[in-house]
Amino acid sequence: MDHTGSLSALKKASGARVYASAVESEAMSKGRPSRQIKPKNFFRRLLMGVVSRFMKATPLRADEILSEGQVLPVLGGLHVLETPGHTAGHISLFSPSTGILFTGDSIVARGEGLVRSLQPLTWDEAKADESARKQAALGACIVCSGHGPVVMDAASKFPKI
């Protein structure tokens, strides 16, 4: 629910356009997540089952579908990167001219460093590893993730996978 739970209300209040990959747009249009969360212990499975019954997202389709190779006309050209793993349709955005990488939840900040999305919140571990290597290879100076503080001097702080 942290991905799209309030997206419909936010769009209505702000008039903002919604951008997403085809996979994520399809899931949003159904008001459902694009991947199943896989808690390893019984208590967390039970908790997720109870919480998911009460947390519902209003269905909403993206205004524009983004895919690998597209360049958005902001920050000197914001490149769309397919970075599946956390979810099937996860994307990240990179501005080569500024060195800023927006990782969403594929890579998150922990203290001064960066880690890849962890179980049980990762849809596919192998794809998550591949996406983390892809993002590390960009040499980003600044990483803005979906969780944690902005990480400066980020090039050397990516997880070693």
Q: What is the CATH number of the domain that holds 78?
A: 3.60.15.10
DSSP 8-state secondary structure symbol assigned to residue 141: S
CB 58 within 8 A of CB 8: yes
Among 58-62, 67-71, 96-100, name the one with the lowest average pLDDT: 58-62
The whole domain housing 95 covers 71-156
Beta-carbon count within 10 A of 4 CB: 22
At 98 the pLDDT is: 97
Per-residue pLDDT band for 140 (boundaries 50, 70, 90) equals very high
Q: Are residues 26 and 59 in the same domain?
A: yes
CA dist., res. 30 & res. 63, Å (int): 15
Query: What six digits make up the tokens of 122?
Result: 């990762």
- Both 44 and 79 in one domain: the answer is no
pLDDT at 141: 97
Whether residue 1 is contained in a domain is answered as no
Total domain count, the chain: 2
Task: Return mean pLDDT, the chain.
Answer: 88
Per-residue model confidence (pLDDT) at position 6:
80
